[in-house]
Chain A
Amino acid sequence: MNTKVSLAGVTFKNPVMTASGTFGSGKEFSEFVDLSKLGAVVTKGVANAPWTGNPTPRIAETYGGMLNAVGLQNPGIDMFVERDIPFLAKYDTRIVVNVCGRTVQDYCEVVERLASQPVDMLEINISCPNVEEGGIAFGQSAKSIEGITKEVKRHAKQPIIMKLSPNVTDIAEMAKAAEAGGADVLSLINTITGMKIDIRSRKFALANKTGGLSGPAIHPIAVRMVYQAAQAVNIPIIGMGGILTAEDAIEMMLAGASAIAVGTANFRNPQVTMEIVQGICEYMEEYSVEDISELIGAVG
C-alpha cells in the first residue's frame, strides 16, 4: 500500500498536512502529535517583520464552525528562521512555510530569506480575510493573482503554492490565473468571511467585526471549489476546508485534491491529524486501494 504523494517534484510520506494558522510551527502540538507521522507541517503565516495581529476577542464559535480574526500575528522572518525552522528540521516531515505580507515587496523579501533554508515548499497567503492590507486584497481578482504569483515565483527557490480565497465569484478563474502566473501548486480554500452578533449585548462577537469561518460547516463548499479548480487547472491542489475525519479527507481527494490539510479539527482534537492518517490507511485497505494517487479526482 502506497500513501506517498508527489507535488511539484516533492514527495510527501502521506497526503495529510496541517492547515496554516491552526498549528503554529508545530511546537505546541508536538506534545500531542508525532510530527514525523505527518505528510507536512504547514506553518502559520510569517511576514518580513513581526505583526501584532488584531484586538480580542479574536475567536467565536458558530454552529459546526468557528470564526477567527487573529490577523496574522507572527514573529517575523528573523525569529522564525532562527527558532522555528531548526525545530521542524528535527522531524522527518516536510516543511511548508506560509508567507504573508502587506505589499508584493514584503512577500518577495520573505521568500528570498527562505531560499537558503531547509524548507520544502512555500505557501503564499493571498487570501487572509482578516487584515486590511495584503492578504485577500491580492486574492480577489484574477489579474492581481497572476501578477503576484509571477513576482513571487521570480524570487522563490522552492516550489510555490498559491493559497486561494473562497470569497470570489469564480474559483476556476482564480485557479487559472495562479497557474498562468507560474504557481506550482494551489491550496484551497482559506476561510469564508463571516460575522456573528451577540443578541444579548448587541455587539459583534469579534473585535474585528468580521472573521474567517472554518470548520465542518464549510466542508461542502470546499469540496465543490476543489472540484471546480481541479477541473480548470493542470497543477496539483492541496484541499482544505472543514476536514474533521479521514472520510472528509478522502472526499476531498476524490474531488481532485492531491493532498489535504487539516485545520480547525486540530482544536477539536489535538491528535486528529494522526487519526486521519490512520483512517486513510484503513479506508485504503477496506477498498483495496493499492496507491493513494488512485483516489485523486476519482469522483465520477
Chain B
Amino acid sequence: MADKFKEQAVIIRQEEISYGIYSMWLKTDKIAGHAKPGQFISIYCHEGSRLLPRPISICEIDRADQALRIVYRVQGRGTEEFSKMRTGGSVDIVGPLGNGFPLKEKKAFLIGGGIGIPPMLQLAKELKCEKQMILGYQDSLFLQEEFKRLGNPYVATEDGSYGTEGNVMDAIRENGLDAEIIYACGPLPMLRAVKEYAREKNMECWVSLEERMACGIGACLGCVCKSKERDGHTNVNSKRICKEGPVFRAEEVDF
C-alpha cells in the first residue's frame, strides 16, 4: 500500500525566523498524517527551469490539522523561490520520504547543528523518555522557544554569543552530560565528531545524512552513501539516503 503521496499543499504561513532561515507551515491532505520525525518532503519549484525537487526535513507535524512545518535555509535559487511564497499560495510536494528516526526508550541526546536543528524538534516532541537537546548554531538562534517548551536545551554558538562557545561537543563536555543513545543531524564535521564520541563511549548513535538528490524516492541512485552492509536494492555497499536513510546507524555508513 502506498504511503507516499504527491499533493498540492497550501501555505498556511511563512516567516523569516532568523537571517536567511524560513519557517513554513503547509496544509496537506494526507502527508502530515503519515509523517514521522526524521522524514523529509520533496518540494517542487514553480519556475520551470528548476527541474529537481528540494528535499527538506520535516520540523513539526500537526496530525490533527494535517499540517507540516518545514524550517529551511535559503541556499540557492530554489529555496529563494520558496522563501517568497505567500500565505494561501500552493506548492507541489511529495512525501513523507525516507525512514525517519527510531523512537527508543533510552536516555537520549538530540544533537542538531545549524539547519540540522529543525528535524530534532518533532523528534523531541515524540520521544517520551529522558532527553537532552544540544543545539549548535553559528551565531543567531532560532526555534529556541519551541525547544524550551519541551525541556532545557543546551546551546553552543561558534562566536560564543550564547551558551557554550564552540560546538555541540563542547556543550556536552562543559555541561557534563551523558546519555545512552544519540540522535543527530547537522553538518558533516559535527556528525563525524558525534560518531567518534559515540564510538568511544560505546553508545547507540543515529545520524541523519543529506546528499544531492534527483528523484527523492529511491529510483535514480543519485544520493547514495557508502555502507558496511550490502544494500537490499542493488546488492552493493551503497545505500540510498532518500530511501534506506536519511537516518542511519552511525557505524553503518561512511561520511
Q: A interface vs B, CB < 8 Å?
A: 21-24, 27-29, 31-32, 44, 50-53, 56-61, 63-66, 68, 70, 73-76, 79, 215-216, 264-271
Contact = CB atoms under 8 A, between A and B. Distances in A.
A68 B233 contact: no
B222 A59 contact: yes
Interface string B88-106: 0000101000000000000
Given A52-B236, A73-B221, A267-B220, A59 B214 contact: yes
B235 A267 contact: no
Contact of A270 (B51, B94, B213, B234): B94
Nearest to B230: A50
B211 interface: yes
The B interface, classified by DSSP as helix, strand, loop or mixed, is loop
B59 interface: no
A74 B219 CA distance: 11
A28 B223 contact: no
B125 to A, nearest CB: 27
B237 interface: yes
Most buried by B among A52, A60, A64: A52
Nearest to A55: B226
B227 to A, nearest CB: 11
B2 interface: yes
Interface of B: 2-4, 6, 44, 48-53, 78, 92, 94, 211-225, 233-238, 243
A265 B48 CA distance: 11
A264 B52 CA distance: 9
Contacts of B3: 31
A51 B236 contact: yes
Contact of A29 (B49, B53, B213, B219): B219
Nearest to B231: A75
B219 A28 contact: yes
A216 B213 CA distance: 18
A44 B215 CA distance: 14
A28 B215 contact: yes
Contacts of B212: 56-60
A70 B217 CA distance: 15
Contacts of A23: 219
Contacts of B235: 50, 75-76, 79
B187 to A, nearest CB: 14
